[in-house]
Amino acid sequence: MTSRQIGEFLADADAWLAARYPAAISAGRRFSWGEGDDTVRVFQEPDPVAEAGALPAIRRWRQELWDAGYGWIDGPAEYGGAGLSATYARGFEQLTRRYQVPGDSALTVSLGMIAPTVLRHGTEEQRQYWLPRLQRGQQIACQLFSEPGAGSDLAAVATRAVREGSQWRISGQKVWTSGAHLADVGEIICRTAHEPRHGNLTAFLISMDAPGVTVRPLRQMTGGASFNEVFLDDVRVNDERRLGPVGDGWKVALTTLGHERGAMGHSAFGGAGILSTERLIALVRAMNKDGDPVVRQEFGELISRLRTARYVQEVQAAQARAGESAGPELALGKIALSDNFRRLAAFVADVTGSAIVADTGAWGTYAWTSVLLGAPGYRLGGGTDEIIKTAVAQRALGLPRSG
């Protein structure tokens, strides 16, 4: 790979995007206090009707990308990818921010977690079948892992899969499933034997419209509903939809979870990407607190943590480019993210005062309640902070298991 080649690639891509999509309104424009919508987005929690309505455009966007060879830039050529390095994929992703494209936010689980799992654990036939469909947005996938009785202790899943000839019959209940209401297919972890604990789980890809699958929205403490409960009542699935060997579901699940933690920490740059320094500064000024030495101390502390989260991500990306393999400590990025959200919530609450608890009508003040309400979710999502610390202590530091 030379810089000339990537330069040409990006120039072609830019021309392709420019011919199809209008330039982004925000491109090159700086944040301006008091202008436009003051929503502070923490989770993707769009109105369900609007969200479903946006899907056809998202699927069209993915199909167009696929047809033009930009659908899976760093994917292997044998499954329809362009076979280029991650640098090309990142460069293209950055380019798309300059245009009004439908985006991939509804496909985070599909592309960021399920597709890599199929690539790693799928049979040749499954890869040939699923990977192009997932990348094209033709099939949208969700992750059916947690259950009422199996949260942090995921290996305790009670949903049963019983073999019957060339089919399996699945019954049980899943919960906290992001995007199940939009998904065509779900990666499900089921119990297929009693013992041993981690060796009796098996993964499948089930159709979300199969008879016996019921999806109910779950309202979160933020007021939004991006999660669901999923009930499975004697759902039939062919054995060819099994992902990995019978009894190997734990390994398959770990692959998916590994991608989830990485994706969470990375997508928001440990909190720095979601909210701009400019906006925080404008808030402090609007509240007339820019001369307050205590506020300046707290601001300096917060910025140092947000920046550091970004530096960690950038150094890890550079090490990956240099061919160094990432270790289990990558998951710590998720803790940096949840930690930074809590600190951000505390800072904006201190600066905003009473205007964060009741809407005075002042621009950009009450809007911060979303950060305050969303922060506890980040400590839980993608594995609780405690589960991640335990896993990192055992896998990265070699500390012994308890018991």
Partner 1 sequence: MATRDRLALTDDERALQATLREFLTEQLPSAALRAAIESETGFSAELHQRLVQELGLGGLTVPEDYGGLGMGAAEAAVVHRELGRALYPGPFLPGCLAAAGLLAAGDDPACRRWLPPLAAGTATGTIAFAGQDGTWNGTDAIRADRTPGGWQLTGTSWFVPVGHVAQFCVVRAAAGDGPAVFVAELGSSVLVTPMPVLDLTRPLSVLTFSQTPVTLIVAGDAAGRVAERVHADLELATAAEAAGGIDWCLGTAVHHARTREQFGQPIGSFQAIAHQCADMLAGLQDASASARYAAAATAEGAGDARLATRVAVLRAGEAYRHAAETTIHILGGTGFTWEHDAHLYYRRAWSAQQLAGGAQAHRAAIAELAGL
Residues 6+ apart with CB under 8 A from 31: 276, 278, 279, 282
Q: Which of residues 153-182 bind partner 1 (CB under 8 A)?
A: none
Q: Are 141 and 184 in contact (CB under 8 A)?
A: yes
Range in contact with partner 1 (rule: CB under 8 A) among 153-161, 251-259, 304-312, 369-377: 304-312
Exactly one of 22, 28, 293, 361 binds partner 1 (CB under 8 A); that residue is: 293
Q: What is the DSSP letter of 150?
A: B
Exactly one of 250, 269, 299, 368 binds partner 1 (CB under 8 A); that residue is: 299
- H or E stretch covering 232: strand 227-238
Exactly one of 17, 336, 351, 375 binds partner 1 (CB under 8 A); that residue is: 336
CB of 307: closest distance to partner 1 in angstroms? 5
CB of 303: closest distance to partner 1 in angstroms? 5
* Rounded distance between C-alpha atoms, residue 284 and residue 214, angstroms: 47
| Interaction of residue 93 with partner 1, rule CB under 8 A | no
Count of residues in the chain: 403
* Rounded distance between C-alpha atoms, residue 323 and residue 314, angstroms: 14
Exactly one of 128, 167, 207, 308 binds partner 1 (CB under 8 A); that residue is: 308
Q: Whose CA is closest to 118, among 73, 79, 161, 84?
A: 79
Exactly one of 13, 274, 284, 348 binds partner 1 (CB under 8 A); that residue is: 284
Question: Which residue lies nearer to partner 1 by CB, 63 or 87?
Answer: 87
| Interaction of residue 343 with partner 1, rule CB under 8 A | no
The SS3 call for residue 151 is coil
Q: What is the DSSP letter of 247?
A: T
Residues 6+ apart with CB under 8 A from 32: none
Question: Which residue lies nearer to partner 1 by CB, 55 or 396?
Answer: 396
Question: Which residue lies nearer to partner 1 by CB, 144 or 392?
Answer: 392
| Interaction of residue 87 with partner 1, rule CB under 8 A | no
The backbone torsions φ and ψ at residue 127, rounded to the nearest 5 degrees and listed phi first, read -65, -45
Helices (H), ranges, 244-359: 249-267, 277-286, 293-321, 332-352
Partners of residue 310 on adjacent β-strands: none
Range in contact with partner 1 (rule: CB under 8 A) among 33-41, 92-100, 186-194, 322-330: 322-330
| Interaction of residue 350 with partner 1, rule CB under 8 A | no
Q: Which amino acid is located at 28 in the chain? A: G
CB of 143: closest distance to partner 1 in angstroms? 25
CB of 124: closest distance to partner 1 in angstroms? 34
- 33-72 footprint of partner 1 as x/- string (CB under 8 A): ----------------------------------------
* Rounded distance between C-alpha atoms, residue 250 and residue 202, angstroms: 7
Whole-number CA gyration radius for the chain: 22
| Interaction of residue 1 with partner 1, rule CB under 8 A | no
Question: Which residue lies nearer to partner 1 by CB, 97 or 219?
Answer: 97
Q: Are 162 and 169 in contact (CB under 8 A)?
A: yes
Q: Whose CA is closest to 45, among 218, 225, 267?
A: 225
Helices (H), ranges, 103-177: 108-109, 115-121, 124-136
Size of the site for partner 1 (CB under 8 A): 47
- 360-389 footprint of partner 1 as x/- string (CB under 8 A): --------------------------x-xx
Q: Which of residues 250-279 bind partner 1 (CB under 8 A)?
A: 277-278
Provide the token pair at 172: 């049980």
- 384-403 footprint of partner 1 as x/- string (CB under 8 A): --x-xxx-xxx-xxxxxxxx
The SS3 call for residue 283 is helix
Exactly one of 318, 326, 353, 359 binds partner 1 (CB under 8 A); that residue is: 318
Provide the token pair at 238: 């062919």
Interface with partner 1 (CB under 8 A): 277-278, 281, 284-285, 290, 293, 296-297, 299-301, 303-305, 307-308, 311-312, 314-319, 321-322, 324, 329, 332, 335-336, 386, 388-390, 392-394, 396-403
